Amino acid sequence: MIVLTDLHLLPEGGRIIGLDPFGRVAAAIAHINAHHPDAERVIVTGDLTHRGDAASYERVRELLGRLVVPCSIMLGNHDDRDAFFTAFPGAPRDRNGFAQHVTTVGGYRLVMLDTIKDRSPAGTLCDRRLAWLDEALADRAPAIVFMHHPPHPTGFAGMDAIALDNGDAFHALAARAGNVRLVVAGHVHRTISGVYNGLPFAVFKSPVHQQPMVLDAGDTSLSVDEPGAYGILLLGERGVTVHTDDFALTTAAATY
């Protein structure tokens, strides 16, 4: 399984710190198609666009349409839910209209949450979304929960101020359910892993622009041109192995 996060697409000609999101995401998708055509699914964990506009969602459609692997799409704080559903009318939504759904891969429930908090860069899980999550975990099958906003601290002061605003409620629910094996998030544009409240987590870099490795940076728009990356999850009966590939650095392997 592949995790792509934070595509930040802009209309044609748009740049972020001088980088072309369309070209970078196109390179990521070409790399996935070349190296992981047998992956069971690609999960895109939000911030599909930079400004939530229709022209950018058309570019998201064009690029994700190139994937040879089935794809599940989620939303982040840079997205607009209505504009997304206009561009992707067949995208799954829950009974309350949130972009949340569950699919099963390799014996795991992949639970994809909608953490958009209106008019805020932070995220939230309101009571209706938490109730849906409770039901999604009720059958006690091993689960991996995907959400744009990390529900745990990352150590980046600025990003932690705009993380999921009720992470404690999520962790209390997950602890009660007892079957969440891994939490996967985006939002931070940095490769981060650890454990919080007993739950392992993984956060991945963007294929486009990254968070500089400055923990006390308060400016959340500060970005750096490190190589684009995506995550790779190997799902096994007894656990999940987490890899990242800085795909832009990849050169042909040679023996030594």
Binding site for Fe ion (CB under 5 A): 6, 47
Q: Please report how close the Cβ of residue 119 comes to Fe ion at its closest, in angstroms.
A: 17
Nearer to Fe ion, 208 or 235 (CB): 208
Nearer to Fe ion, 166 or 210 (CB): 210
CA 167 vs CA 46, 81, 205, 214: distances in Å: 18, 22, 21, 23
Q: Which lies closer to Fe ion via its Cβ, residue 50 or residue 152?
A: 50
| Amino acid of residue 106 | G
CB of 5 to Fe ion, least distance (A): 7
Is residue 212 within 8 Å of 30, Cβ to Cβ?
Answer: no
When the beta carbons of 121 and 142 are compared against Fe ion, the nearer one is: 121
Question: For the stretch 242-251, what's the b/e string if a residue is b when 16 or more beta carbons lie within 10 angstroms of its beta carbon?
Answer: bebbebeeee
Least distance to Fe ion from the beta carbon of 201, Å? Answer: 17
Q: How far is the CB of 131 from Fe ion (least distance, A)?
A: 27
- Angle, helices 127-136/167-177, rounded to nearest 10 degrees: 20
> Shortest gap between Cβ of 236 and Fe ion (angstroms)?
30
Tokens linked to 75: 């939303």
CA–CA gap between residue 251 and residue 1 (Å, rounded): 22
- Judged by CB, which is closer to Fe ion: 47, or 245? 47
Residues 123/115, Cβ–Cβ less than 8 Å: yes
